[in-house]
Structure 1
Amino acid sequence: MEAMPIQRKTMSGEVVSQIKEMIERGRLRPGDRLPAERKLAEQFGVSRTTVREGIKILSESGLLASRQGAGTFVSERDGGSREGSLIEAVLAGNYGLHDVFEVRKMLEPEIAALAARNGSPDAKTRLEAILMEQEQAILTGGTGAGFDHQFHQALAEASGNPVLREMVTALHEGFSRSRAEGVQSSQRQKASLAAHRAIVEAVKHGHAMQAERAMREHLDEVERIIFDNQRGILSRR
């Protein structure tokens, strides 16, 4: 299986696009097993985490199927050709960041509240672990962007609603453009980390209203920082 190296960073959507193209062109057929994550990461020129995220998106859309102990395979059924679906539309860039933020602010505060009400001890422990990894990444000079995605995904999983989990996956893939290195300011990193701490604390103690409020404030702040940064970049051109 041949693959073109991916040029843009942290773009699991590019992995999704390339694997889909291979399937559409018949280079991967129903029932075929995908190469190992390590091999795909080398071929695409990205990290194994990025490959894993891309495979997860395709698995949730039905195009791929993971079999425990055997690997990941192209689905035998045509479960992934959902033209016009939310995930497909967002990955294709059909919606702008303003659109994505508007929907995120409608959904994610309620997701945080549901996580506080429904989250299992294991789900809450996972949120704390991701928060610690994000903090460590930032302290060692990274952006923590990958852990930001994991945090919101884990929060949706803690809500107990699989539909919300899939919607968050779609929204955050479209939102990945805002996680590009150029807008990963120190201000945004610190704001994200502090907000995640507040959300985890509320979820951990089952405080649904506080979790909802903390998420709403987080999204408002991130939106302001991103668009302030974008305006600043445009003004310098």
Structure 2
Amino acid sequence: MARSLSAMPIFEKVEQVPAYRLLADRIADQILAGQIKPGEQLPPEISLAEQFGVHRSTVREGIRLLEETGMLRRRSQKRLVVSVPDGARLAERSVQALVMRKVSVRSLYEANLALDPVIARLAAGSATAAQLKRMRDNVEETRLAPDHDTLAALDAEFHLLLCEATNNEIFQVMRQPLHDLFMPMVSDLVRTIDTSDRMVAAHERIIVALENRDSEEAEAWARRHLEDFKRGYLKAGLDFDSPVTYLGSATA
């Protein structure tokens, strides 16, 4: 016996995707497929409106979405070109999501502990002479840091330089959100207790390992450096289970 319609499952309404999102998706698909390449200019708004059969206001909203992702940028008010999103722009949304999820300092530490030793190991096999010099210069500046804020900023820079020395763009994009969220934690620590000597010593040992192409030593010192951070954080009486904070894109 057939069931009555009233006994049938109740389906949710089908949501219609706004036209400007469809337009943005279509343009993004062509960019990702290589049909429109970085540096190439996008057709004018009026031309896009004719091609898609939509109003210019719809085109503007779609373009706005793509500008927010970094896939489009303006060379002038009327000239839009395809661009490659940079790591900082990609990281910002991840950072916002993690802050809103109230991830803890402990969780962020664990993520760094899983990633940074691997980064150091890879950097030992790929760091260039120029990259090693920049890291050496960073350590000398760190040794002479005049205040806590400068010390924290130089520590953050060192770890970005270490990540760059992998010469692997995937790791650089992956680590950027961790960098942006870890910096406030370092700032809190160095304002509470003096960690500068231990910081400089660990950075120097990592550089020596990189210069010697000793991947195991580089990995080990990266791990020790992070574990030392945890000991210092707890010694300073800071809450390891509190939600992470964010200084904002202007200072990240």
Matches within 5 A, 1:66-215: 86-90=94-98, 92=100, 94-137=102-145, 140-142=146-148, 144-181=151-188, 183-215=190-222
Deviation at 1:116, TM superposition (A): 0.7
| In 2, Cα distance between equivalents of 1:182 and 1:209 | 28
- 2:225 aligned with 1:218, yes or no? yes
Structure 2, unmatched stretches of 5+, are: 1-60, 240-252
Identity, % of aligned positions: 23
Q: Aligned equivalents of 2:92 and 2:193: distance in 1?
A: 37
Distance, in Å, in 2 between the alignment partners of 1:181 and 1:231 is 8
Q: 1:107 to 1:182 in 2, by over 3 A?
A: closer
Evaluate the alpha carbon distance shift between residue 221 and residue 66 of structure 1 in structure 2; reply closer, same or farther with a 3 A threshold: farther
Q: Is the 8 A contact 2:148 2:191 kept in 1?
A: no
RMSD, aligned α-carbons:
3.8
Amino acid at match of 2:173: E
Q: Is the 8 A contact 2:73 2:83 kept in 1?
A: no
Contact 1:156 1:164 in 2 (8 A): yes
Per-residue deviation, 1:77:
7.8
Taking the TM superposition and a 5 Å limit, the aligned residue runs for 1:29-40 are none
Contact 2:122 2:215 in 1 (8 A): yes
Structure whose CA Rg is larger: 2
What SS does the aligned partner of 2:167 have?
coil
The AA in structure 2 aligned to 1:172 is H
Q: Name the structure 2 match of 1:18.
A: none
Residue 235 of structure 2 corresponds to 228
Equivalent position amino acid for 1:132 in 2: E
Aligned partner of 2:121: which letter?
Answer: A
Distance change (3 Å), C-alpha of 1:121 and 1:97: same
Structure 1: state its 5+ residue gaps. Answer: 1-25, 33-57, 233-237
- Indicate how the Cα distance of structure 1 residues 83 and 193 shifts in structure 2: closer, same or farther if over 3 A, else same: closer
Q: Distance in 2 between matches of 1:135 and 1:64?
A: 41
TM-score, structure 1 normalization: 0.60
Aligned residues: 172
